[in-house]
Amino acid sequence: MSKLTGKVAVVTGATGGIGFAVAKRLGKDGYTVVLNGIEDEAGAKRVAELAAEGISAEYYGFDVTNDVDVTANINKIGEKYGKIDVLVNNAGGIGVRARFEEMTTAEYKFVMALNLDSVFFASRAAIPFLKKGEKASIINYTSNAAWNGAGPGAGIYATSKGGVQSITRALAKDLAEYGIRVNAVSPGTIDTPFHAQIKATKPEVFASWKNTILMGRLGEPEEVAAVVAFLVSDDASFLTAETIQIGGGQALGI
């Protein structure tokens, strides 16, 4: 059974992949975890899985790109528990693949909303409750793409993640006076359902990705979760405005 400490963690995009691994790890570390997603059936299944392991968890279904829904749901969570100790802005993704010349304004706005606006919406709503939390912190997700501009068709994704890099530092400055720390992780290629399509249709391409990683393998969701768990812990009490690469040296290129 997980030892409940009264701490509350909200993890967006937590019904699968890295998000669920993070929720599970924080739950094992004693947090009550609130999972967010847009697939209610998957959310219910994940909560049941966590409950079976003695983890206190619940699910809130809302779209992180909708500021009204984000604010309403974060307020419900914060008011229910009286505080939020950790916010993990995990939700995000490529969204749309298109070259700049071909990308529509609507597609551009969607990718930016999914990766950057969502961080702003959730953080803004959570701040009043984080102020009531115990050694509270926010964790954001950036990407190697923020540094290298990503591949063809993912330029706006790279742009949005560059924004996450900046908002992480800006939030850290804004919230330091309240003792709220803000850091980011930058996962490399992690073996999750995010890559399921290319893994199934182009296994040779998928297999070749490990050749771009110094450690010669893909990462596991649990390895990202372990770093997030560290960043929200007392062991990282003097870390803020930092980004930790979790990519087996992939950012260096080989």
| Residues classed as catalytic | 157
Helices first, then strands: H and E counts in the chain:
10, 7
The terminus-to-terminus CA distance of the chain in angstroms comes to 44
Number of alpha carbons in the 13 Å side-chain half-sphere of residue 243 = 23
Query: What is the side-by-side strand order in the sheet with 181-187?
Result: 57-61, 32-37, 8-11, 86-89, 137-141, 181-187, 243-246
- The total of other beta-carbon atoms located within 10 Å of residue 24's CB is 23
**What is the distance between the alpha carbons of residues 244 and 181, in angstroms, rounded to a whole number?**
14
Using alpha carbons, select from 34, 27, 30, 39 the residue that is nearest to residue 11.
Answer: 34
- Joined together, the tokens standing for residue 41 give 């059936």
- Joined together, the tokens standing for residue 194 give 């995010």
**What is the distance between the alpha carbons of residues 36 and 250, in angstroms, rounded to a whole number?**
29
Q: What residues does 139 pair with on adjacent strands?
A: 88, 183
- Joined together, the tokens standing for residue 225 give 């979760």
